[in-house]
Structure 1
Amino acid sequence: MFQSLAARHGVVVRDRTEVISIKKEAASGPVQVLTASGEVFCGKKVIITAGAWTRKLVGSVSGIELPIEPVHTLICYWKIREGLEEELTAAGGFPTFASYGDPYIYGTPCMEYPNLIKIAMHGGIPCDPDRRDWQVGSRAAASANEPDANALVGPVAQWVSKFMPSHIDASNGPVMTQGCMYSMTPDGDFVIDFLGGEFGKDVVVAGGFSGHGFKMGPAVGKILAELAVLGEAEVPDGVDMGIFSIVRFKSNPRGNVKEHAAQVSLHKT
Structure 2
Amino acid sequence: MFQSLAIRHGATIRDRTEVAEMKRDGIDIIRVSTADGRQFRGNKCVLTVGAWSRKLIKEITGLELPIQPLHALVWYWKIKDGFEASMSTAGGFPTFAFFGEPQLYGTPSMEFPGLIKISLVSGWPCDPDRRDWTIGGGDESAVKRQAADCIELVMPGRIETARGSVMTQACMYSMTPDEDYVIDFLGGEFGKDVVVAGGFSGHGFKMGPLVGRILSEMAIDGEAETAVRIGVDMKVFGMGRFEENPKGNV
TM-score, scaled relative to structure 2: 0.95
Q: 1:149-168 CA deviation, whole Å, 9 max, x = no partner?
A: 42543322232233323111
Structure 2 residue 239 is the aligned partner of structure 1 residue 246: yes
Distance 1:107 1:82 in 2: 19
Distance 1:219 1:52 in 2: 20
Distance 1:20 1:154 in 2: 41
1:32 aligns with 31
Provide closer, same or farther for how the CA distance between residues 174 and 256 of structure 1 changes in structure 2, counting only shifts above 3 A. same
Structure 2 residue 224 is the aligned partner of structure 1 residue 233: yes
Alignment of 1:1-269 (within 5 A): 1-26=1-26, 28-136=27-135, 148-234=139-225, 235=227, 236-257=229-250
Contact 2:102 2:143 in 1 (8 A): no
Distance 2:34 2:16 in 1: 10
> Which structure 1 residue ranges, 4+ long, deviate > 6 Å from structure 2?
none
Residue 71 of structure 1 and its aligned partner are, at CA, apart by 0.5
SS in 1 for 2:180: coil
Residue 173 of structure 1 and its aligned partner are, at CA, apart by 1.2
SS in 2 for 1:153: helix
TM-score, scaled relative to structure 1: 0.89
Q: What's the RMSD between the two structures over aligned residues?
A: 1.4
Residue 50 of structure 1 and its aligned partner are, at CA, apart by 0.4
SS in 2 for 1:155: helix
Q: 1:248-267 CA deviation, whole Å, 9 max, x = no partner?
A: 0000000001xxxxxxxxxx
Structure 1 residue ranges without an equivalent (≥5): 138-145, 258-269
Distance 1:151 1:233 in 2: 44
Aligned residues: 248
Distance 1:77 1:228 in 2: 40
Distance 1:107 1:147 in 2: 20
Q: Give the stretch that moved more between structures: 183-192 or 28-37.
A: 28-37
Distance 1:151 1:126 in 2: 17
Query: Which amino acid in the other structure matches residue 213 of structure 1?
Result: G
Query: Identity over aligned residues, as a percent?
Result: 59
Contact 1:74 1:152 in 2 (8 A): no
Residue 169 of structure 1 and its aligned partner are, at CA, apart by 1.6
Structure 2 residue ranges without an equivalent (≥5): none
SS in 2 for 1:71: strand
Distance 2:19 2:232 in 1: 32
